[in-house]
Structure 1
Amino acid sequence: MIPLPVEIQLLGWSVVLLFVHIMVQGQTATRDRGLDWNAGPRDGDAKPLGPLAGRAQRALSNFQETWPAFIALALAVTLTGRSGGWSQIGAWIWFGARIAYIPLYLGGVKYVRSLAWLVSALGLLLMLVQLL
């Protein structure tokens, strides 16, 4: 079996991270809105989310904003044969920062959460540098 490039391995793990975001968001929203709301058709106006569920929703949305760039870069460096070096480092940085982002956002940690986002963006930039 041919070993997969690190970027593709992390792409697979990023799907796991997406599901972590979805589960955290879903569980916190269900806690605020109730099981009947979650199991039902969700017609009409939804009860407002509390602080934790709101943060979970915003963290998920933020992940979904940068995830397509990671997907594109991971595939591009692999398909062009430019995997490795800065791209691998960047992929690890992006992935680690995105993991750190979840508890920082849920905990309402100011500035450090923004720093985690900035570090994740740096990871994407490193991948882009390797590609270009």
Structure 2
Amino acid sequence: MSIELRILAWGCLLALIHVFAAGRVRTKQYGTKWNMGARDEAVPPPSPLVGRMERAQANFFETFPIVAAAILMIEATHRTSALTMLGAMLWLGARVIYLPLYAAGIPVVRSVAFMVSMVGIVMLLWPLLR
């Protein structure tokens, strides 16, 4: 299995981490009864941490399908290379550090991590667009 596909698998695990991390802080704020119920009742606004975790999760799921499609296209067209491997590694590494940076409310470094992940995505797409 290529490194790019392995990174895609790790990205799937990271997606689950986003889901469970956001769910955990939401449940901590609203309670287990809310979490296990139909969630029909009105709830107070999310705490800053809950809001950051929800936004981090949404941000991840905005870019993850692009990465997944790019890696699968690279594999299908046999265009894996040092560039695509580095792009996938940059994307995953940046996304791994993005979540705790966002959770901690660290603004500038979080944006740098996001931009590094975007560079990784461009590196994945580049061979497909030439």
TM-score, L = length of structure 1: 0.95
**Mapped contact 1:85–1:130 kept (Cα < 8 A):** no
**1:17 corresponds to:** 14
**Mapped contact 1:104–1:113 kept (Cα < 8 A):** yes
Aligned-pair Cα RMSD in Å:
0.8
Give the length in aligned residue pairs. 129
Structure with more helix by fraction:
2
**Which amino acid in the other structure matches residue 42 of structure 2?**
D
**1:41 corresponds to:** 38
Aligned runs of 1:77-92 on 2, under 5 Å?
77-92=74-89
Structure 2 residue 69 is matched with structure 1 residue 72? yes
How far did residue 85 of structure 1 move? Answer: 1.5
How far did residue 121 of structure 1 move? Answer: 0.2
Per-residue deviation, residues 4-49 of structure 1 (Å, max 9, x unmatched): 0111111111110001101110000001111110010001323321
**2:127 corresponds to:** 130
**Which amino acid in the other structure matches residue 102 of structure 2?**
Y
**Which amino acid in the other structure matches residue 6 of structure 1?**
I
Structure 2: runs of 5+ lacking an equivalent:
none
Percentage of identical aligned residues: 39
Report the 3-state secondary structure (helix = DSSP H, G, I; strand = E; otherwise coil) of the residue aligned with 1:111: helix
How far did residue 83 of structure 1 move? Answer: 1.1
Aligned runs of 1:110-125 on 2, under 5 Å?
110-125=107-122
Structure 2 residue 29 is matched with structure 1 residue 32? yes
**1:8 corresponds to:** 5
Report the 3-state secondary structure (helix = DSSP H, G, I; strand = E; otherwise coil) of the residue aligned with 1:65: helix
Per-residue deviation, residues 67-125 of structure 1 (Å, max 9, x unmatched): 01100101000000001221110000000000010110001001110010000000000
TM-score, L = length of structure 2: 0.96
